[in-house]
Amino acid sequence: MPDITQIAAVHLKTGFKFSTYVKTTVPIYSEAQKVTGISVDDYGIMRVDGGIVDSVTI
């Protein structure tokens, strides 16, 4: 089963936004990479649309 790759929320009253990326424990399907733009390279670096993003490991 695929892992969660992003957690995000917006507080409706204040507009405060929270977002974090989560490193996967299994490879991301190529179809999912096309839809989300999220990938993890061979060195464990997470990218969104080609740009490196900070991520957490669970």
pLDDT digits (tens, 9 = 90+) for 4-58: 899 999 999 999 999 999 998 888 999 999 999 999 999 999 999 999 999 998 8
Predicted TM-score (pTM) of this structure: 0.76
Structural domain of 47: 6-56
> Could you tell me if residue 36 is inside a domain?
yes
Spacing of C-alpha 4 from chain mean position: 7
Q: Is 1 contained in some domain?
A: no
Q: How many distinct structural domains can be found in the chain?
A: 1
pLDDT value of residue 1 = 65
Instruction: Give the C-alpha separation, 3 to 14, whole Å.
Output: 30
| Phi, psi angles (nearest 5°) of residue 33 | -60, -40
d(CA 13, CA 7): 19
